[in-house]
Amino acid sequence: MAPGQEPSVGRAAGTQSDEPAHAAMVAKAGALVPRLRERAARTEELRHLPPETERDLHEAGLFRMLQPKRIGGAELDYVALIDCADLLGQADASVAWNLANLASHHWMLGMFEPTAQDLVWARDPDALIASSFIFPAGRATRVEGGYRLHGSWPFSSGVASCAWNMLASVVYSEDEADGIEYRIFLLPKADYKVLDTWNVAGLRGTGSCDVEVRDAFVPEDMTVAVGDLDGGPTPGSKLNPNPLYALPVFSLFPYVLSGVALGNAQACLDDYAEVVRHRISTYNHARLSDFQSTQIKIAEASAKIDAARLIMRSACLNAMADARRGHIPDMATKTRYRRDGAFSVNFCTDAVSMLFAASGARGLFTTGALQRQFRDAHAINSHLAFNFDAAGTNYGRVALGLPSENLTL
């Protein structure tokens, strides 16, 4: 985004349940863009969000956009994650990534047992919750009153700022006939250790470190089964009847973070257009804006970004519409959500890669934003939720009448 330029955010067909509140939250995100962009280099150096950035996000209420109103949250529709991450991603993808991640955990906590919600939010309604949803990283066994949990989980974004963590694990039984269960465990900070492992090329400011748990006891009501999060009423529904808390969590998982890719790509496009609008070729002194190849690249990149925005927002709006009708999506719909989440982010990555290549050697300078946008785009795309081979294969299986291979759907 060029200096003085307004951040871009698009709209797909559909409406939110509370348009004024949604618009107000999006406006708060947009107001932060200039200062977050100025801090981007420092955020990378720190490898986590600067304290003043966390404070800005808290004061704007952005972390609580999906938190129940009864706790003081905004309880906006799910599409707010896309729109706010889109805007913040135009400043700094690391900030957008942590905001979307941590905000989504307030939404998920609203699906836990009421005792879990009360324990976290009665102490501090602003408390941040980290996560790692890599099920094979943990091993849990059922004991009286709950579970014993141990394991080592990577990629717990923003964990240093959090008082709690949602860790996914496989639950094993001594009786093989019982099979295995996928479950999420909510632990206080005292029950896990943060390992400073986040030395990476992209999304450097997210502080996505490893966490380690050694034989922690987790009470039953501080856990939730993945099967309870596949759409429809959840253990938290008695407190939070809004259809927002009846969405299928892991079917819509890509859209927690896909808006980050969108904003990062939009910023890359805006910056590129601003530069070539005034730039003269080093070799023949021609105006780059007069080159047909430049014009075509801007058209192609913008088409991919606009298409990605439409896909992402439409998926979220349609899911909310289904939830309001009490309709639980079938497996074909769930695998389509995963397919489209990956496909739309791949569009954004393609746009950034094309613009980076078109920028030539100037894009290599670390003083510019383009090299960071390129690194961040590929870091985002490396997330398993955006692996189109995996999402596409599973969609194709279901479309052909075969069972889904994704056990969390």
Tell me the pLDDT tens digit for each residue of 188-226: 999 999 999 999 999 999 999 999 999 999 999 999 999
pLDDT band at 4 (very low <50, low <70, confident <90, very high): very low
Task: Flag whether pLDDT at 363 surpasses 70.
Answer: no
Instruction: Output the six-digit token pair for 319.
Output: 């899911």
**Separation of alpha carbons 107 and 189, rounded Å:** 19
Task: Flag whether pLDDT at 28 surpasses 70.
Answer: yes
Domain 129-230 sits in CATH at 2.40.110.10
Q: What is the pLDDT of residue 365?
A: 63
Q: What is the pLDDT of residue 98?
A: 98
pLDDT band at 288 (very low <50, low <70, confident <90, very high): confident
Mean pLDDT of the chain: 93
Domain ranges of the chain: 19-123, 129-230, 254-399
> Residue 352: left (phi > 0), alpha (psi -120 to 50), or beta?
alpha
Among the listed ranges 107-116, 170-179, 367-376, which one has the minimum average pLDDT value?
170-179
Task: Flag whether pLDDT at 6 surpasses 90.
Answer: no
Bridge pairing between strands 146-156 and 138-143: antiparallel
Q: What pTM does this model have?
A: 0.93
Give SS3 for 35.
Answer: helix
Q: How many CB atoms lie within 10 A of CB 4?
A: 7
Q: What is the pLDDT of residue 366?
A: 61
CATH class of 254-399: mainly alpha
**Separation of alpha carbons 12 and 94, rounded Å:** 25
Please state, for a pLDDT cut of 90, what percent of the chain lies above it: 85
Task: Flag whether pLDDT at 120 surpasses 70.
Answer: yes
Superfamily of domain 19-123: Acyl-CoA dehydrogenase/oxidase, N-terminal domain (1.10.540.10)
- How far from 260 is each of 97, 178, 278, 349, CA to CA, in Å? 6, 40, 28, 11
The b/e string for 282-296 (b: 16+ C-beta within 10 A; e otherwise) is: eeeeeebeeeeebee
Q: What is the pLDDT of residue 3?
A: 39
Give SS3 for 334.
Answer: helix
Q: What is the pLDDT of residue 12?
A: 44
| CB distance 46 to 205 below 8 Å | yes
Give SS3 for 198.
Answer: coil
Task: Flag whether pLDDT at 244 surpasses 90.
Answer: yes
Q: What is the pLDDT of residue 319?
A: 98
Q: What is the pLDDT of residue 42?
A: 97
